[in-house]
């Protein structure tokens, strides 16, 4: 399927690893010129080289801290300087600390809000004119399945990420028809973080092998396994494309059927 986005430009945040890198990879394979982002310069440079291996569009990296408003401005400006526009914005950020409600401090609440919500607010605010200029801009927000069903000991993710979904739905109305806004809600995927946790489990004797560890993590998922990050990347690329031009304001679970919510 031709997604009809070759030659477009995209900014993908927190994309030096994991789901963000998968989204950047899929867009770059479709001929989109992409800007990857991360805080660790060495890790970001390695990710850029990896994405370039299969890209048909140009790929560059730019270090930025998503909790720093000035860094976000510089990140958006760099994208426009390099590629002349921003057609697609994919927002992503690392997860906040785990823990139950009564053990979560005020500072942790404020930090989570800065990382998860204000980063998206600032990114969209800085990018909106560029996204609208082409008449077909898109915003895709990578969040979590926790916005559908609360996950034990993840109070910050459960509560704060809901603000991202409220923002996404509002933007889908206020910015249309020039800009569409959607979100993806991933369940567990075989990211570097997940792989490291499984290997640690093998070392502790919890699993006999890496394969067994992955299998056990996917036992509760109806399709029988955890996700491949590139499958999440496929969803992001589709929602960024002309093929999804009538999809707006949607929060799409990418979870292998794990969720039990009717809506």
Q: Indicate whether 180 and 200 sit together in one domain.
A: no
Q: Indicate whether 144 and 242 sit together in one domain.
A: yes
Using DSSP, state whether 140 is helix, strand or coil. Answer: strand
Q: What is the CATH number of the domain that holds 52?
A: 3.40.50.720
> Which tokens belong to 46?
């390695």
Above 90 in pLDDT, residue 197? no
Taking the model in full, what pTM does it have?
A: 0.95
Residue 263 is assigned to a structural domain of this protein: no
Q: Indicate whether 199 and 158 sit together in one domain.
A: no
Q: What is the pLDDT of residues 199-255, one digit of tens each?
A: 988 899 989 999 999 899 899 999 999 999 999 999 999 999 999 999 999 999 999
Above 80 in pLDDT, residue 146? yes
Q: Would you state the pLDDT for residue 261?
A: 85
Q: Indicate whether 250 and 158 sit together in one domain.
A: yes
Q: Indicate whether 196 and 73 sit together in one domain.
A: no
Residue 91 is assigned to a structural domain of this protein: yes
Q: Indicate whether 221 and 168 sit together in one domain.
A: no
Q: Indicate whether 97 and 42 sit together in one domain.
A: yes
Residue 89 is assigned to a structural domain of this protein: yes
Q: What is the tally of structural domains in the chain?
A: 2
Q: What is the pLDDT of residues 5-48, one digit of tens each?
A: 999 999 999 999 999 999 999 999 999 999 999 999 999 999 99
Above 80 in pLDDT, residue 65? yes
Q: Indicate whether 36 and 97 sit together in one domain.
A: yes
Q: What is the pLDDT of residues 66-120, one digit of tens each?
A: 999 999 999 999 999 999 999 999 999 988 998 999 999 999 999 999 999 999 9
- CA gyration radius, the chain: 18
Q: Would you state the pLDDT for residue 193?
A: 81
Residue 259 is assigned to a structural domain of this protein: no
Q: How far apart are CA 131 and CA 87, in angstroms?
A: 5
Residue 2 is assigned to a structural domain of this protein: no
Q: Would you state the pLDDT for residue 229?
A: 96
Tell me, letter by letter, the H, E, C secondary structure of 52-87. HCCCCCCEEEEECCCCCHHHHHHHHHHHHHHHCCCC
Residue 57 is assigned to a structural domain of this protein: yes
Q: Would you state the pLDDT for residue 77?
A: 98
Residue 261 is assigned to a structural domain of this protein: no
Q: Indicate whether 131 and 242 sit together in one domain.
A: yes
Q: Indicate whether 118 and 54 sit together in one domain.
A: yes
Parent domain of 101:
9-189+228-254
- Please say whether the beta carbons of 8 and 87 come within 8 A: yes
Residue 246 is assigned to a structural domain of this protein: yes
Query: Percentage of the chain surpassing pLDDT 90?
Result: 87
Q: Would you state the pLDDT for residue 21?
A: 97
Name every residue whose Cβ is closer than 8 Å to that of residue 124 and which is 6 or more positions away in sequence: 89, 91, 139, 167, 171
Above 80 in pLDDT, residue 186? yes
């Amino acid at each position: 399927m031709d997604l009809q986005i070759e030659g477009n430009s995209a900014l993908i945040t927190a994309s030096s690893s994991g789901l963000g890198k998968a989204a950047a990879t899929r867009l770059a394979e479709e001929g989109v010129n992409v800007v990857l982002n991360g805080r660790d310069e060495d890790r970001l440079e390695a990710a850029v080289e990896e994405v370039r291996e299969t890209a048909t569009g140009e790929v560059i990296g730019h270090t930025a801290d998503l909790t720093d408003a000035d860094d976000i401005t510089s990140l958006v400006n760099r994208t426009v300087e390099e590629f002349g526009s921003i057609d697609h914005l994919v927002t992503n950020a690392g997860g906040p600390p785990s823990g139950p409600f009564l053990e979560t401090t005020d500072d942790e609440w404020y930090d989570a809000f800065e990382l998860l919500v204000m980063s998206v607010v600032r990114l969209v605010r800085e990018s909106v004119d560029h996204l609208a200029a082409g008449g077909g801009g898109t915003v895709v927000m990578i969040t979590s399945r926790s916005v559908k069903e609360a996950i034990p000991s993840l109070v910050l993710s459960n509560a704060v990420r809901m603000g991202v979904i409220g923002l996404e739905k509002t933007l889908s109305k206020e910015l249309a028809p020039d800009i569409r806004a959607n979100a993806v809600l991933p369940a567990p995927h075989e990211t570097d973080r997940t792989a490291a946790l499984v290997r640690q489990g093998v070392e502790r004797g919890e699993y006999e092998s890496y394969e067994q560890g992955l299998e056990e993590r996917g036992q509760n998922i109806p399709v029988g396994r955890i996700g491949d990050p590139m499958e999440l990347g496929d969803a992001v690329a589709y929602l960024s494309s002309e093929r999804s031009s009538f999809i707006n304001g949607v929060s799409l679970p990418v979870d292998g059927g794990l969720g039990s919510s009717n809506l």
